Structure 1
Amino acid sequence: MFSIKCEERIEKGFADAAAAYPEIYGKIIEKFNECSEHETILMKYLYAAMPLSDLGNYTFEDFSDYAKQGVLLWEKGPFAGKVPEDIFLNYVVYHRINEEDISPCRSFFYSQLSKRIEGKSMEEAALEVNYWCAEEATYQTTDDRTVSPMTVYKSAFGRCGEESTFTTSALRSVGIPARQVYAPKWSHCDDNHAWVEVWCDGEWHFIGACEPEEILDKGWFTNASSRAMLIHSRWFDFIGAEEEVIQKDGMVTVLGQLKRYALTEKLTVHVTDRNGRPVPGALVKFEILNYSEFAPIASIVTDEKGQAGFCTGLGSCHLHVIKDGVFAEILVDVDKEKECSVSFDAVLEEDHLTDVKAGCMPPVMDGWQDFDVIAPKDARINTKQPAKEQKERGEVRFAEAAALRQKKAASFYQAAEANEISSSYGSGIDEILKESRGNFKEVVKFLSASEEMDLRKELLYVLTKKDYRDLKSDVLEEHLRESKAYAEHVPHDIFVRYILNPRVHMEPLTKYRESILGYFTEDQKQAFIAEPSRIWDYIEAAVGEKKDREYDSLTTSPVGCLMLKTGSTQSKKILFVAVCRTLGIAARLNPADLAMEYYKEGAFCPILENAKKDCTLSLASGDSTKWVYFQNWTLAVLKNGDYQTLNLAAEVWKDGMTVPLETGVYRIVTSNRLPNGNIFAKTYCFSLDQGEKKELVLSLREAKLSDMLENIEINDFILHRKDRSEIMASEILQNKKNLIIWMEESKEPTEHILNELYERKEEFNSIDGQIIFVVKEEKSLQDPTLSRTLASLKDVQIYYDSFAENVNTLGRRMYVDPDKLPLIIVTNPGLNGVYATSGYNVGTGDMLLRILK
């Protein structure tokens, strides 16, 4: 099928993998008898290159679809003979895109797409596939668990990480090499993004997943990506990749792709001990301040010279360096420094740090430290634009795709069946049926049984909205059947949430109770019930960890862990909770720090002694700042030289907050994200001794007006006069400062800014600039609040717009949310944006006056 060299390396890779698990791979080899010779080669490749979690979580039949489709595409697909074999194996055949759930999909997607791409070039076919993807799914925010491409198809929506796995799978299904690329954290705003790269005729190009264009290398994220510090892709193969290697993440290689999108520099870090000797083997975490926490975008181990580095953007990067539980850190502005040094306050002896003076303690304790984080400047890297005819054709096709998708989504909910179910369960169940989307039949199947109806309803209520879209009735049946005997052992809400509930964290829902009950002896089970800590003792002794064969973002199922006797730390924690719940012990992972806990005498108790929370931190605000966790503050605990952010998002801030904590060292980060993408930030480090109670007032840095303004060149755009004739924005904006507002009349956010303009009409009438209102149609001007404000302001110019393109393009160009109206932009004379905001924001009127004056 492939070259001799390629097939030999597949055979060797498979043999090496099989040697570690001869019994499991022996059964796999038996099933090769059902495959053709070429299918067997591809199945061997998949089993050689997959993470161990995939081996434990999925069946031979799950992967067979990928191999069969791969053979078809290699031998007689639309692009057969045009793709090199290693590109084909990694970016056409391979089953995994990133961390999504796996289910057969390739042959189905091919059946939907093959006719549509007949006779097209690879580039034309890639564009056509993306139109099909837009017909089937669109963006909608969801939780962080990544569903399978088939679930995205059946749901008609997904977040960007799911849209991109769906689109990548669709492209691979017709033989077009594709991969997900990812900005793990933006530098200019608190978010991230994933999209798709396609290999066409020897070169990689990019597209927005489910966001079709008439040309390649265009997407809404083009400008945003020019401000990134890292954009990467993943390579799952066991041979080396030919692109820039950023790091290894277990068995996955992370490849740098930033040069395609942004201005870059190679940042090199020199790590030394106190005496200036190079320190090899230190872990350098390159971090971005995002969501008010230092989030790693790359983690690289220093070489023999004590050096580590990678190609990054021209902004601030926080370096956190760890070795032997000791850490050192520094903030670097890559635009000014291409090399930097980090020194441990310790001495390197025989590859270990000794004579540690600073230890694991931060350099400054119990005091606020100010620092600035600078985002890379906007750069014009990818500037391709469609011709006018292409643009018009694309708008028509996009509208057609949206209509088809909406029609499909409307067909999911079956009112007659839903009414029948709701008549038995009550009206609340109807919302679950609507949320199930294309998984409607599976939810109905679970609810159609006549026994344990109350528990069935409660089980569904404890799951997430995303679970409704991919749950399996037989999985829920097992959890219900094997747990109901324990319903009277603990308070009912504890039973439902922490025994009946099949979900532990963010893992896919699977069966495990019958397998666990059959795996342990009666004596073991009784010992576990008597002392739950013995469960963890068993797991620690029996379940190992093979990091070089794993991908840390994946979870091995409880059954997979026991079968392989291998799993990540997180997988083993989930196994602990699964065993507890199977035996009727209420258990959970603490939502703040994921510590394992079981329910005893009315409270949750940590399994590990060092996880006991006998300290408290009481926080207060020193001013009127609205404190929002993961927006302008976070709290992290120091563990083995590394700060781990606690998840306190569910805690309510009401005139302060009190948090139970364990003994240890902590760091608070507060951040003031400015409109230009930079951050004024502070840190506060402190320690808590056993039983200590600490009080602290949070502090947020303020910014001057000059710190907040942008300097962004925007492309010319079209507005319409009252008579619907076109006028270019450059003609309107050329002479003065300009305040432009796209109005959504009668809606509260627009009403709010109109009221602010009205209340300060004298000041707005005195500015040396133009005020421009943009509305969709003339009757918008009849809105009472809008007409009152217009009457109070002099010389307001009125223009008209469909809002279809300009709001999206300009909002994204100015780095504000284009889905929230009103869109407000201030420009200098000409097409130079200096400030923008969107949606509801208190105090916008005051900010506008400060800028315009």
Structure 2
Amino acid sequence: MSQQTRWLTLDEKMKRQMEEKFQYKRELAKGKEKELFGILNEAQTEDEKLALTYLLAYMPLNDLADYDGALFLNHIREAFHIQSVVPWGERVPASLFLHFILPYRINNENIEDIRGVFFDEIYPRVQDLSMANAILETNHWCHEKANYIGNDPRTVSPLTLIRTALGRCGEQSTLAVAALRSIGIPARQVYTPLWAHSDSNHAWVEAWADGKWYFFGACEPEPKLNQGWFENPAKHAMLIHTKVGAHYNGPEEITLAHPWYSELNLTNLYADTKTIHVRITDEEGQPTQAKVQFQLFNFGGLRNILVKETDEQGTVALTLGLGDVYISASGAKGWGFGKCDVKTTDEITISLSKEIPVDTEVDFKMVPPSAPADDASREVTAEERQKHNDRVKTGANICASYEATFLTEEDAHRLADECSLPKTRVWEVLKKARGNSHEIAAFLKEYSKPYKEWSLRLLEVLNEKDLTDTFRPTLADHLIQAMIVKDSILPELDDELFAQYILRPRVDFEMLTPYRSYFLKEFGVENVEAALENPRFLVDFLDREFEVVEGVNYFRGSATPVGSFKLKKGDTLSRNILFVALARTIGIPARLEPSDKRPQYMVDGSWKNVQFRDGTIDTKAADSSDQIGFVLWEKDEHAAEPIKYGENVTIARFEKGNYQSLFFNFDEDEQQKLALPSGYYRLTTSIRLNEGTALIRFRFFQVKPNTETTVPLQFPKHVYDVPVMAEANLDYQAEAMDGTMLNGARHVGAQGTTFIWIEPDREPSKHLLRELREMKAEWEALDIQINGFIREEKWGTAQQLQAAGDLPNNMILLKESTGEKALHVIGQAIPADKKVGNEWPIVYVVDENQQIRHISEGYKLGISKEVIDVYKQISE
């Protein structure tokens, strides 16, 4: 074999580590020796063989289960070829090629052979540009392919995102990283696991050009690099990092050096930071080892941003933003908890104990970091901004032209008539399928004749995202085999139970594949009959045949059921998904329990918990009712806060030294009696203040078997203060949609007026518009006028917003003239230290006396709710 490139320069230590891990993976995946490792015999150069060895050595366990070696060899050849063609190929250091170009995986997306496809489309646009300008141009290409929408945590592949033209930030950044790597530019997905000041997180991209890393928002072009709407929110971040699927020895701080991957701490590139040292002791004050969870308040509860192990001296260090972090520690000597103010603390000691709190309350607050001063060095001239806006508009039109090829409501009605199916339901399915709508329509045409409405019902029980990347062979496999089960094994089963727990192929957030025919063939008739006779047979089968291996996956996700079955190894979640998929295939209703994802199967109309011999879920396994208790909520009648689970109320169960959040649908209009497995719990109630601080109350309680426990459901005490900031000056003129000029002083609401300045085609304004739509009824219930201003150069989008008809009826769109006259006039009396800058959206809350009571600028989730709450506080 000949040496081909200089891009795989590994020192002896790296080679030795790689070889050790490669041999471990080869043994781990010996069930797929030929499919995975046989491809080494086809390597034509030493570099191809070395790159294959590297990828296999650090490959997540889920990928060993789901993919074959040929995919990775082709990926490697494309990467080497591209690096030899692009003009900057020789300038990329070997270490950056290894860690930020060669890897095939970015997040937990489905892996497809895309690098050559993207290169052919993008490279002609960038081949004559500098690296920095090539990055900007590639992001314009991404913008032409996809817009933002929030959705479930399964990351679709870049090709699916292009097909759908909509995706969340994690998917958009996956596309952008894949696009840049396809033209030989080092790129990485960067993210804050959770914001400290707002409920949510965010992902963006960093790309390397001529010796320096730059950031940008994926599919959200800016005139220059190191610009993005998230730039100011990132200054409030507690942790910003990226993952590398291997050992890493670059210049960045290593947040976590895991045996199978590295996490790089990039926080100090965006925010002021400080390193804190956490010391863990036992009850006698002696150092002890423990697992330490660093947590932020988000979505109504404490969530992990990082988990680290202490050293032998019981210490661990972490560099964070200058806000509050909650620390949970657990080890052989017990567990302990504490809150740390990073700004004022250098070291915190947490003492472990084996006492579990019960019938106690704790109140505290979590304060986010304050933002450092703005950097004005990257300002854009008016000429640059106008040129950029024209490019963005062109990109939006390209994307809109593609979206125009999706099947329409009229198409859906014709299809429904042809298939004798309900028109509204067919349109709902095709609308969600977007670029995959033609495939879904073809499935209905073919299978509605033999299976009638069940063909449509299958599509309806899928997750919305499934409709965008599931094709006819997969759908047919599940429909045909499930209907055989219904007719021959479960003819009496309730139709809805059948649809949700037999027909539905999705178990958690795994990629959907056609697994039923495969399982029926490989599992065998005798095993199927034995499992139908006694579902415990299926549990014993997996206990015997499947090995649980934890810690080898570095992204949230799971293998497909077929992949897990072939490899016969996987993490606990993959094993549990496999159990449910096997059970549904052979005719046993099964699921992952919604609150904590323990596997269950149904017997005589009741759900039974699965207990595997490895004990991975033995703390929850209880087939008899004597393990279940009930919680009655004692609600505070005077509480001003509405109860919204996952927003201001959460429940966590104490397990193995830590509180694990549970997931429920909470209805405040009903006096719920909640059934819970016996054990210890923590109720969290909270209030998020306008500046981002969270007021938190913990209530600790115990659930005993066959016992009703009454738990107070009370919120932290808080006296709202909404001071008058300034008098609003409404002496302005603004043009409405019909061309008439409106006088500001006359266009107000009886209870107040909200002024909003938005850029409808860009984030984070699109976030706010979405919130206005979602809270349409709440806005219309107030006697409030909403005046939405759009800058003159963006006025063309106003007509589209108006035509959609889904914004609150008390909202009117107005043209903001050049110079942002209304913005300056209305807020001219605001004190200098409170004035807004230029981070849109900008919101002024004005009361009935024309006084400004609240201002919001830039990105923050929940602005719509925040403003409505301000009006409620004013009225009270």
The normalised TM-score by structure 1 is 0.84
1:426 to 413, 417, 422: 422
Q: Does 1:671 align with 2:686?
A: yes
Q: 1:657 and 1:328, CA in 2 relative to 1: closer, same or farther beyond 3 A?
A: same
2:107 aligned residue: 98
SS in 1 for 2:109: coil
SS in 2 for 1:654: coil
Amino acid in structure 2 at the alignment position of 1:262: A
1:528 to 525, 531, 541: 531
Q: 1:140 and 1:805, CA in 2 relative to 1: closer, same or farther beyond 3 A?
A: farther
> Post-superposition shift, 1:44?
3.4
Matched ranges for 1:117-266 at <5 A: 117-238=126-247, 240-248=249-257, 251-266=260-275
Amino acid in structure 1 at the alignment position of 2:368: A
Matched ranges for 1:110-121 at <5 A: 110-121=119-130
**Cα distance in 1 between the residues matched to 2:248 and 2:269:** 24
1:716 aligned residue: none
1:638 to 628, 633, 654: 654
Amino acid in structure 2 at the alignment position of 1:677: G
> Post-superposition shift, 1:40?
4.4
Worse overlay, 414-423 or 696-705: 414-423
Matched ranges for 1:217-366 at <5 A: 217-238=226-247, 240-248=249-257, 251-280=260-289, 282-324=290-332, 326-345=334-353, 358-359=354-355, 361-362=356-357, 365-366=358-359
Worse overlay, 485-494 or 146-155: 485-494
Q: Does 1:682 align with 2:694?
A: no
Q: 1:142 and 1:325, CA in 2 relative to 1: closer, same or farther beyond 3 A?
A: farther
**Cα distance in 1 between the residues matched to 2:72 and 2:821:** 42
1:824 aligned residue: 845
1:510 aligned residue: 513
Amino acid in structure 2 at the alignment position of 1:531: N
1:550 to 550, 553, 557: 553
SS in 1 for 2:711: strand
Over residues 250-269 of structure 1, what are the superposed CA-to-partner deviations in whole Å (9 max), with x where a residue is unaligned?
Answer: 62222111010000010110
Over residues 574-623 of structure 1, what are the superposed CA-to-partner deviations in whole Å (9 max), with x where a residue is unaligned?
Answer: 01101111211010011111121111112222224744462111224213
1:568 aligned residue: 571
SS in 1 for 2:685: strand
SS in 1 for 2:479: helix
1:443 aligned residue: 440
> Post-superposition shift, 1:78?
3.4
Alpha-carbon contact 1:598-1:606 (below 8 Å) kept:
yes
Q: Does 1:87 align with 2:96?
A: yes
Alpha-carbon contact 1:817-1:838 (below 8 Å) kept:
no
1:700 to 704, 715, 724: 715
Amino acid in structure 2 at the alignment position of 1:474: P
Matched residue count: 778
Amino acid in structure 1 at the alignment position of 2:458: L
**Cα distance in 2 between the residues matched to 1:185 and 1:806:** 35
> Post-superposition shift, 1:407?
1.1
2:372 aligned residue: 379
**Cα distance in 1 between the residues matched to 2:544 and 2:838:** 51
Alpha-carbon contact 2:108-2:555 (below 8 Å) kept:
no
Q: 1:504 and 1:291, CA in 2 relative to 1: closer, same or farther beyond 3 A?
A: same
> Post-superposition shift, 1:430?
2.4
SS in 1 for 2:681: strand
Over residues 109-132 of structure 1, what are the superposed CA-to-partner deviations in whole Å (9 max), with x where a residue is unaligned?
Answer: 112111110211110000000011
> Post-superposition shift, 1:674?
0.2
> Post-superposition shift, 1:550?
2.4
Matched ranges for 1:625-774 at <5 A: 625-648=641-664, 650-705=665-720, 741-742=755-756, 755=783
Amino acid in structure 2 at the alignment position of 1:436: A
> Post-superposition shift, 1:334?
0.9
SS in 2 for 1:534: helix
Worse overlay, 492-501 or 297-306: 492-501
**Cα distance in 2 between the residues matched to 1:294 and 1:469:** 33
> Post-superposition shift, 1:654?
1.4
Amino acid in structure 1 at the alignment position of 2:510: E
> Post-superposition shift, 1:533?
2.8
**Cα distance in 1 between the residues matched to 2:628 and 2:137:** 59
SS in 1 for 2:205: strand
Amino acid in structure 2 at the alignment position of 1:63: F
> Post-superposition shift, 1:159?
0.5
SS in 2 for 1:755: coil
2:761 aligned residue: none
Over residues 373-418 of structure 1, what are the superposed CA-to-partner deviations in whole Å (9 max), with x where a residue is unaligned?
Answer: 1111122365422232222211111111111111111112267864
SS in 2 for 1:115: helix
Q: Does 1:622 align with 2:636?
A: yes
1:491 to 494, 498, 503: 494
Amino acid in structure 2 at the alignment position of 1:6: L
> Post-superposition shift, 1:27?
3.9
2:763 aligned residue: none
Structure 1, unaligned runs of 5 or more: 346-357, 712-718, 725-737, 759-771, 781-788, 790-797
Q: 1:710 and 1:79, CA in 2 relative to 1: closer, same or farther beyond 3 A?
A: farther
Q: 1:146 and 1:326, CA in 2 relative to 1: closer, same or farther beyond 3 A?
A: same
**Cα distance in 1 between the residues matched to 2:194 and 2:455:** 39
2:65 aligned residue: 56
1:369 to 351, 362, 365: 362
**Cα distance in 2 between the residues matched to 1:139 and 1:188:** 21
**Cα distance in 1 between the residues matched to 2:81 and 2:574:** 36
Matched ranges for 1:450-469 at <5 A: 450-469=449-468
SS in 1 for 2:428: helix
Amino acid in structure 1 at the alignment position of 2:845: I
**Cα distance in 2 between the residues matched to 1:464 and 1:802:** 45
**Cα distance in 1 between the residues matched to 2:463 and 2:724:** 40
- Give me the identity figure in percent: 28
SS in 2 for 1:75: helix
Worse overlay, 473-482 or 586-595: 473-482
Give the root-mean-square deviation of aligned CA atoms: 3.8
SS in 2 for 1:444: helix
**Cα distance in 1 between the residues matched to 2:732 and 2:73:** 56
**Cα distance in 1 between the residues matched to 2:537 and 2:558:** 22
Alpha-carbon contact 2:854-2:870 (below 8 Å) kept:
no
**Cα distance in 2 between the residues matched to 1:775 and 1:510:** 45
Over residues 714-735 of structure 1, what are the superposed CA-to-partner deviations in whole Å (9 max), with x where a residue is unaligned?
Answer: xxxxx986699xxxxxxxxxxx
Q: 1:636 and 1:818, CA in 2 relative to 1: closer, same or farther beyond 3 A?
A: farther
**Cα distance in 2 between the residues matched to 1:417 and 1:585:** 37
**Cα distance in 2 between the residues matched to 1:134 and 1:775:** 21
1:392 aligned residue: 386
Q: 1:825 and 1:104, CA in 2 relative to 1: closer, same or farther beyond 3 A?
A: farther
Q: Does 1:405 align with 2:402?
A: no
1:729 aligned residue: none
